[in-house]
Structure 1
Amino acid sequence: MSKRLQHELTYDAPPAEVAAMLRDPAFRVKVCERQRVISHDVTVAAEGDAADVQVERVQAVTGVPSVATKVVGDEITIVHRENWRDLTSGDYTVGIPGKPGQISGTVSLREDGARTIETVDLTVTVSIPLVGGKLEGVVVDLLKAALRTEHEVGVTYLAG
């Protein structure tokens, strides 16, 4: 069983500016700081319009059901990777090393008038009998919160 997350983030900027922001290590660091992570490491490798963006962060596990903390503990390492094939489309994965689950899908940018809409489309699977479905719901909620934070930082970044 798995859960799907489709989330759109709208920016008042053309796709090229949004793509540049998403490839900027300074932007990724600001997102980590806003998320109040314990530690982070940002790596961006770009070649032409393609780019590989990886953010590894360690964060405290708070505000989740006890079943989740029993599985992951008090801290969790999250490896988020966006592998952009070009300026507007790529693969999106989130991994939690050593934990039973998988988060993968796509990310895309599309122009909408003077704005850009970033669409993240993910499938979340937690392979734990009996509680996997509940944990998938928790993970989807956490991903939505992380994307909202990224969007807030992005709006400020693009404004200025």
Structure 2
Amino acid sequence: MARRIEHHTTSPHSAEKVFGAMTDETYLRDRLAAIGGTNSALISFDKTDERTSYQLKQGVPAEHLPSAVKAALGGDLVIQRTETWAAGAGTVEVAVNGVPGRLEGSFTVLDNGSGSKTTLTGEVKVSIPLLGGKLEKLIAEQVAVLLDKESEFTSEWLANRG
């Protein structure tokens, strides 16, 4: 059974500026360097007038994982994340090494008062008997933590650029 996820973050910056950051190669590299984890990398980046697509690799060392997850993975957690953005909205697909499952969802970035609000709506599905539900819950929780960190980083990154 899949687990729905909906997570909101806010920024003091306009939706246009946040969207601009989310589709900026320098921003992505800076974000990965600051909070991407073990062996993080921007695997691919493609930008046209209409759309931006990229793939990121992020890592979480095994010692930061719950024992059941550590045992299932047999090592570090490696996250492959693909995002496609166009006109203030995006899609995301996340796969995790050694886990038969994925997160799929969509982002919206909208003006909200004097700033903006970014929303991820999606679903986490892990197909492992007995452990799937626990891993889905863990992944959903960790995605929320990561999105909060990324939102903080984005606000600081934009503030430092005037």
Q: TM-score, normalised by structure 2?
A: 0.89
The SS at the match of 1:6 is strand
Q: Which runs of 4+ in 1 moved over 4 A?
A: none
Q: How many angstroms does 1:97 deviate by?
A: 4.1
CA distance in 1, matches of 2:25, 2:74: 29
Q: In structure 2, what is the equivalent of residue 100 of structure 1?
A: 100
Q: 1:75 to 1:95 in 2, by over 3 A?
A: same
Q: In structure 2, what is the equivalent of residue 137 of structure 1?
A: 137
Q: How many angstroms does 1:33 deviate by?
A: 2.8
Q: TM-score, normalised by structure 1?
A: 0.90
Q: 1:36 to 1:81 in 2, by over 3 A?
A: closer
CA distance in 2, matches of 1:145, 1:34: 15
The SS at the match of 1:39 is coil
Kindly report which structure 2 residues correspond to 1:1-160, keeping only aligned pairs within 5 A, or say none: 1-35=1-35, 37-42=37-42, 43-84=44-85, 86-160=86-160
CA distance in 1, matches of 2:30, 2:62: 20
Of 42-51 and 124-133, the range deviating more from structure 2:
42-51
User: Contact between 2:41 and 2:57, CA under 8 Å: does it hold in 1?
Assistant: yes
CA distance in 2, matches of 1:61, 1:150: 21
Which 5+ residue runs of structure 1 have no aligned equivalent?
none
Of 34-43 and 125-134, the range deviating more from structure 2:
34-43
The alignment yields a C-alpha RMSD, in angstroms, of 1.7
Give the % identical residues: 23
The SS at the match of 1:62 is helix
C-alpha offsets along residues 76-132 of structure 1, whole Å, 9 cap, x if unaligned? 221111111x22112111112442111101011111233111111120011000111
Counterpart residue type for residue 53 of structure 1: Y
Q: How many angstroms does 1:70 deviate by?
A: 1.2
Counterpart residue type for residue 59 of structure 2: V
Counterpart residue type for residue 21 of structure 1: A
CA distance in 1, matches of 2:126, 2:50: 33
CA distance in 2, matches of 1:152, 1:62: 25
